[in-house]
Amino acid sequence: MEGVMHIFTPASAAWCGWTMLFLMLCALLSEMMQPGVISQTGASLRMRTERVYKDAPTNYLSQFLITLFRIGTLAMALYLCFYQEGPFSFDIFVVICGVVFLVTLLKMLGDVLVDYTFMLSRRFTPAYEHYANIITITSCILYPCVLVLMRYGNAIASRWVLGAVAVVFFALWIYRASRHFIESPRAVFYFILYLCTLELLPLGLILYLSSQTINYL
């Protein structure tokens, strides 16, 4: 109606609900195709090896779907974190998904380079598998938070929630990775160096690029 000011919120954008439903279906289908890929990730935190679901062969479609769930959930949280006003755009969400995917890909290449250079496969492979499990756990924690923030939250609340989830993620990752890499006092220095260059730097890059995307698109 003319003369009526329309207030845009994430909850008022129809595509948000459908997107969150799609992400939930991705997670459910992934679990159905490879039982344990989500439900047993918590148990893996207490184990030395990652394969807690009976050494089943990798189902690549299941891995693809759970990757979509992780990327989409984080991208939506980032959008809510930096969103100020105006229409909640699906195009911007897709760009943020691309940013998350690209930075994650670059991080994986950096991990492979470190693995190849220092010949850490014996310790690096199980550590990376635990890393994937921890991302799944934090995504599952983040998903219901995103649903609530879409309806009732704002940018400040979203930043607090995203920050709290990031703290949980890094606490879990440091706990698991330290068991694989820290075998001597000197190893502590290398672990901190790795944490700053291949964990904190990619996270900062994702935050910066996401905020710039929202501000300029």
Question: Quick one: pLDDT at residue 38?
Answer: 85
Question: Quick one: pLDDT at residue 90?
Answer: 92
Question: Quick one: pLDDT at residue 46?
Answer: 60
Question: Quick one: pLDDT at residue 193?
Answer: 77
pTM confidence score: 0.84
Indicate the length of the chain as a whole number: 217
Question: Quick one: pLDDT at residue 134?
Answer: 84
Contact 97, 75 (CB under 8 A): yes
Question: Quick one: pLDDT at residue 10?
Answer: 78
Q: Which residues of the chain have pLDDT under 70?
A: 1-9, 42-57, 115-128, 153, 177-184, 187
CA 158 – CA 195 distance, rounded (Å): 25
CA 14 – CA 180 distance, rounded (Å): 45
Give per-residue pLDDT as tens, 26-55: 999 999 998 888 887 766 666 555 444 445
Residue 130's nearest CA partner among 177, 182, 165 is 177
Question: Quick one: pLDDT at residue 123?
Answer: 56
Helices (H), 12-89: 14-33, 41-44, 60-82
Q: Which residues of 194-208 are buried (b: 16+ CB within 10 A; e: fewer)?
A: bbeebbeebeeebbe
Question: Quick one: pLDDT at residue 100?
Answer: 94
